[in-house]
Structure 1
Amino acid sequence: MSIDMVGVLKLITICIVSYISIVLVLRISGKRTLSKMNAFDFIVTVALGSVLATTIVSYQDSFWNGILTFITLVVLQYVATWLSVRFKFVRTILKSRPSLLYFEGDFDEEALMKERITKGELKQAIRTSGFISFEQVAAIVLESDGTLSVMETTDKIKLEKDDFLVKKSTDVK
């Protein structure tokens, strides 16, 4: 068994270009693309992974190409996370910030439109969290991973917008 170095380099190049492309596409499309909100979002996420995998390995069917592809993607993910922990610029490119969608009776219409979230989906999130109405909720945040965090209204703790470390796009300088 001999190793075709040109083939190996081609596979690694395809992995790198595919990885960068999928990260850019996901960052441009927003958190909603990978969210855990409904069956459609899940299907899209699975389809994206399938398309990426097919693109990378379709030119040859080989066990070793599959292993090399897997290893290359894992190494790229490790390098990306290593860089994002150490460099703010890389972290800004790879990770999104949480978005405050609802706070003390007010919907952030701009954030809802930007994140492509409906008030009906917020209602679903509060029901899933065990609440009945928005009056019981202090805030709803769309987290970086696409999940919705629902915070309960309480008299014991007075929440401020700054507590969420979430800045609206108009607040960022």
Structure 2
Amino acid sequence: MTISLIEAVKLIAISVVSFISIVLILRSSGKRTLSKMNAFDFIVTVALGSVLATTIVNYKASFWSGILTFAMLVTLQHVATWLSVRYKSVGSLLKSDPALLYYNDTFQEQAMRKERVDRNELKQAIRKSGYVSFEGISAIILESDGTLTVMSDSEKRQLEKEDFIFIEKQ
């Protein structure tokens, strides 16, 4: 497959214009738009990337459609997160609560089954945090964004289980 010089110049121009348009849309929407604070944010970020790629590659048919779609996804994400901050019911639809998977030498088996996390994944998380065993680890939490947070015993105060109990959404 060959591409003519004119087509190459058009592709470059569309890429530059798309990039500038998307940067302007993202800058006007705030930092939250590309955050991966939870699964919903991650899905929007992936969708934005897909729209951008489609807009550039299929520019003949979809340039303005792509820019409009990108702007709509950013706007819908902004509205959804705005609503989730103000209404707990919307927030509970879009976000999951963190889950305590390990606490004071005890695997929280029920939570691990519910979240589909096994001991090997917890071992991997402690290795990534610079530990070689569960010794010295007081808690491991599966955060709303899917990351595992490892907390050591070396905290300034003794951690209590209540530190990891999350208030139920009402």
Instruction: Please indicate, yes or no, whether the TM-score normalized by the shorter chain is above 0.5.
Output: yes
Q: SS of 1:159's equivalent?
A: coil
- Please state whether the residue corresponding to 1:149 is helix, strand or coil: strand
Q: What is the alpha-carbon root mean square deviation over aligned residues?
A: 3.3
Instruction: Give the Cα–Cα distance (whole angstroms) in 2 for the partners of residues 75 and 126 of structure 1.
Output: 38
- Give the secondary-structure state (helix, strand or coil) at the position aligned to 1:62: helix
How far apart are 1:165 and its partner, in Å?
3.5
Give, in whole Å, the separation in 2 of the partners of 1:123 and 1:113.
Answer: 16
Aligned twin of 1:68: 68
Q: Match of 2:98, as an amino acid?
A: P
Q: Secondary structure at the match of 2:102?
A: strand
TM-score, normalised to structure 1, is 0.62
Question: Alignment partner of 1:139: what SS?
Answer: strand
2:26 paired residue number: none
Match of 2:158 in 1: 158
Larger Rg: 2
Residues paired across the two proteins, number: 126
1:136 equivalent in structure 2: 136
The Cα of 1:155 is off from its aligned counterpart by: 7.4
Aligned ranges 1:42-61 → 2 under 5 Å: 49=47, 53=51, 61=61
**Structure 2 spans left out of the alignment, 5+ residues:** 1-37
Residues 117 and 136 of structure 1, relative CA distance in 2, 3 Å threshold: same
Question: TM-score of the superposition, structure 2-length normalised?
Answer: 0.63
Q: 1:172 to 1:111 in 2, by over 3 A?
A: farther
Task: Work out the CA distance in 1 between the residues paired with 2:68 and 2:149.
Answer: 38
**Structure 1 stretches lacking a partner, 5+ long:** 1-29, 35-44
- The answer to which structure, 1 or 2, has the higher relative contact order (CA under 8 A, 6+ apart) is 1
The alpha-carbon distance between structure 1 residues 154 and 80, as it changes in their structure 2 partners (threshold 3 A), is same
2-side partners of 1:86 and 1:172: how far apart? 12
